[in-house]
Structure 1
Amino acid sequence: MDVEEATTRVLDAAEEQFYERGIQAVGMDAIRSRSGVSLKRLYQCFPSKDHIVAAYLRRRDDRWRTQLAEYVREHGDTAEGAILAVFDWLSEWFRRPEFRGCAFVNSFGELGGVSPVVAETARAHKKAVGAYLRQLVEPLDVSDPDGLAAQLAVLVEGATVVAAVTGDLDAARTSRACAEALLDAAGR
């Protein structure tokens, strides 16, 4: 097994385990066992668990934001429609059987106070999501696009946390209604 295949298998196993069980609950042996990669090869790919965690979060960030942007491109035929499509995508994501909330909020809550890598990666993800929302707001003629984007980011985060913690799979729809009200108030 070459390094690229081993790396992919380790990250696949780590992502599944970390997202389902939490980072601290998953040891290197569980990742090795689930991935089928020898311990020697695993440590050649990732010198420590912190390296796996950082790679897992970066990979998840890339995939999550890519899936969101693709959905919005396909379903948002206007500037307002693109913004509202964010919440439609969230609604679909919440209904996936593997949904366990935001991996970045989960990892930050678990390790953000003691792991600079986790804290930095979680903050970078949230900043990137905020920048994406700001991009979606840009075509609108509103007086405070930064403020509107920040409000939308809070609605995204709130819906995700509510869905994960309470099991309310309609949280994205509730946030979508709030986003519509914000867009109306902003004078779309």
Structure 2
Amino acid sequence: MTQALTRKRPGLERVLKTADRLFYEEGIHATGVDRIAAEAHVSKATLYTYFRTKDDLVTDYLHRRSRSWREYVAGELPEHGASPEERLLAIFDLLGEWFLSPSYRGCPFINSEAECAPGPSSEAHLANLEHRSWVHTLFGGLLKEAGVAEPEAIARQLMLLYDGSMSGAQADPSVDWAAAAREAAESILRNHQTSH
């Protein structure tokens, strides 16, 4: 949904914000469309004029979460280091800042996969895959820029750290998972660079 469209339709913007908050804080299954409509102050019929099904609303939620994180990372990384290695490691610093937020409830994409177990052709699953592809491309691009050999394979290793730190921070926030992931990423980079 474009910003211009939501500005012309304030009810739609309220639905999107309400769904985003409730899906993330309380879960997709736990949040029914009746509650979203009530808290957004629109009728259920109006909600269904914006989204044909709840699945469509979930897919839009995932796309919006992805777009927001991409824009945030794109804006922040240049401020965190001149070299591609510094920017790559800064991704874990950005995760660490997010983990400290009292509203942190884990990765919305991992959560939706675990909660909904969408089929391989569902729009929500495809939105999750699209986001994961972006994460892989982000790591891969920085690794290529750093002159690291086998950037695709190393990017997958970094994605394991990325995903693991988010899951760890959700399950046990007493541990600094982002710092641990950053340290492991640094070790991977160091070992890879010394061996090539």
Query: Quick one: which of 76, 83, 101 aligns to 2:81?
Result: 76
Equivalence map 1:22-41=2 (5 Å): 22-41=27-46
- Structure 2 counterpart of 1:159: 165
CA distance 1:112–1:120, change in 2 (3 Å): farther
1:91-170 matched pairs, under 5 angstroms: 91-114=96-119, 116-170=122-176
TM-score with structure 1 setting the length: 0.93
SS at match of 1:187: helix
Instruction: Give the aligned CA root-mean-square deviation in angstroms.
Output: 1.8
Q: Do 2:7 and 2:13's aligned partners in 1 also have CA atoms closer than 8 Å?
A: no
CA contact (8 A) 1:138 1:145 kept: yes
Q: Map of 1:79-90 to 2, 5 A cutoff?
A: 79-90=84-95
Aligned to 1:173: 179
Among candidates 66, 78, 84, match of residue 61 of structure 1: 66
Shift of 1:147: 1.4
Q: Give the TM-score of the pair, scaled to structure 2.
A: 0.89
Amino acid at match of 1:31: I
Q: CA deviation at 1:3?
A: 5.6
Say which SS state the counterpart of residue 101 (structure 2) adopts. coil
Deviating more after overlay: 93-102 vs 69-78: 69-78
Q: 1:172 to 1:38 in 2, by over 3 A?
A: same
Between 11-20 and 36-45, the greater mean CA deviation after superposition: 36-45
Report how far residue 175 of structure 1 moved. Answer: 0.4
Q: For 1:25, what is the secondary structure of its paired residue?
A: coil
Q: Secondary structure of 2:193's match?
A: coil
Quick one: distance in 1 between partners of 2:51 and 2:78?
35
Q: How far apart are residue 142 of structure 1 and its match?
A: 1.7
Q: Structure 1, residues 100-134: CA drift from partner, whole Å, max 9, x if none?
A: 00001001001124582222221221111111111
Asked whether the 8 Å contact 2:77–2:91 carries over to 1, the reply is yes
The alpha-carbon deviation at position 149 of structure 1 amounts to 1.2
Unaligned runs of 5+ in 1: none
Distance 1:70 1:112 in 2: 32
Indicate the residue corresponding to 2:3 in structure 1.
none
Task: Tell me how far apart the structure 2 counterparts of residues 20 and 60 of structure 1 sit (CA, whole Å).
Answer: 13
